[in-house]
């Protein structure tokens, strides 16, 4: 963050002041806004998206509280070894009984771009190994795209599709489907420059055919 200590302190102070304004505006409009929100937490959607601060799903979809349960990580990656993500999936599917999971990727994703580079960046290189594998799997079609920016966007979109494909193979999702839950998984993409989101038409549900090796036997 640019600026000196005083400038940063002023920014933090303004954030707290803005919160006071926000609370007043909400309670002036509806005195029970926060007290009602306090009573129940029953979101219908789990969204898995990137940590990029330009990605603002609630604001960009004009979605209020108690609709979207948000999980963020670097490059919206579905990693079975990510205990935090797996715990959120467990919470969302089995405790909150969400009906939809959306993997939301976005343009100009620096994490995805970083995954294509050969330079060593540190621990993040281990985390982005999944994205490197996505690139390797689609290298031929990606390398045919001459425009570098278009190639990056294509990789970012493909990454979303691959993460959706990985997600539906997770035991938690397979268990939900085996139990007959109406859980759907979708892949969306945000164009940061225009602010527009679009469906990548990768939706899957319990009728989606996947390889038998990912069909677990769950006890009744």
Residue 192 pLDDT greater than 80, yes or no: yes
Mean pLDDT throughout 123-143? 95
> What is the predicted pLDDT for the residue at 6?
87
H or E stretch covering 8: helix 5-29
Task: For residue 170, give every residue at least 6 positions away whose Cβ sits within 8 Å of its Cβ, in sequence order, or none.
Answer: 78, 80, 86, 89
In degrees rounded to 5, what are phi and psi of residue 13? Answer: -65, -40
Per-residue pLDDT tens digits for 69-114: 999 999 999 999 999 999 999 999 999 999 999 999 999 999 999 9
| Banded pLDDT at 4 (limits 50, 70, 90) | confident
Model pLDDT, residue 3? 59
Output the pLDDT for position 5. 82
**Alpha carbons 174 and 181: distance in angstroms, whole number:** 10
Residue 145 burial (C-beta neighbours within 10 Å; 0-12, 13-18, 19+): middle
Mean pLDDT of the chain: 95
Helix (H) or strand (E) holding 196: strand 196-199
pLDDT band at 1 (very low <50, low <70, confident <90, very high): very low
């Amino acid at each position: 963050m640019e600026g000196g200590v005083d400038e940063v302190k002023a920014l933090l102070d303004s954030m707290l002041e803005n919160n006071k304004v926000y609370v007043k505006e909400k309670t002036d409009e509806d005195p029970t806004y926060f007290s009602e929100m306090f009573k129940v937490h029953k979101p219908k959607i789990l969204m898995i998206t990137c940590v990029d601060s330009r990605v603002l799903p609630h604001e960009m979809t004009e979605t209020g509280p108690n609709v979207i349960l948000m999980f963020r990580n670097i490059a919206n990656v579905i990693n079975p070894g990510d205990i935090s993500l797996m715990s959120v999936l467990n919470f969302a599917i089995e405790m909150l009984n969400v009906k939809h999971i959306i993997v939301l990727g976005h343009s100009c994703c620096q994490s995805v771009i970083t995954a294509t580079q050969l330079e060593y960046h540190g621990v993040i290189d281990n985390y982005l190994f999944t994205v490197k594998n996505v690139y390797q799997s689609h290298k031929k079609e990606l390398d045919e795209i001459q425009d570098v920016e278009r190639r990056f966007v294509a990789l970012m979109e493909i990454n979303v599709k691959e993460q959706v494909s990985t997600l539906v193979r997770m035991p938690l999702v397979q268990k939900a489907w085996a139990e007959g839950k109406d859980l759907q998984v979708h892949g969306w993409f945000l164009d940061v420059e225009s602010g527009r989101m679009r469906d990548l038409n990768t939706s899957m549900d319990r009728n989606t055919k996947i390889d038998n090796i990912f069909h677990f036997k769950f006890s009744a």
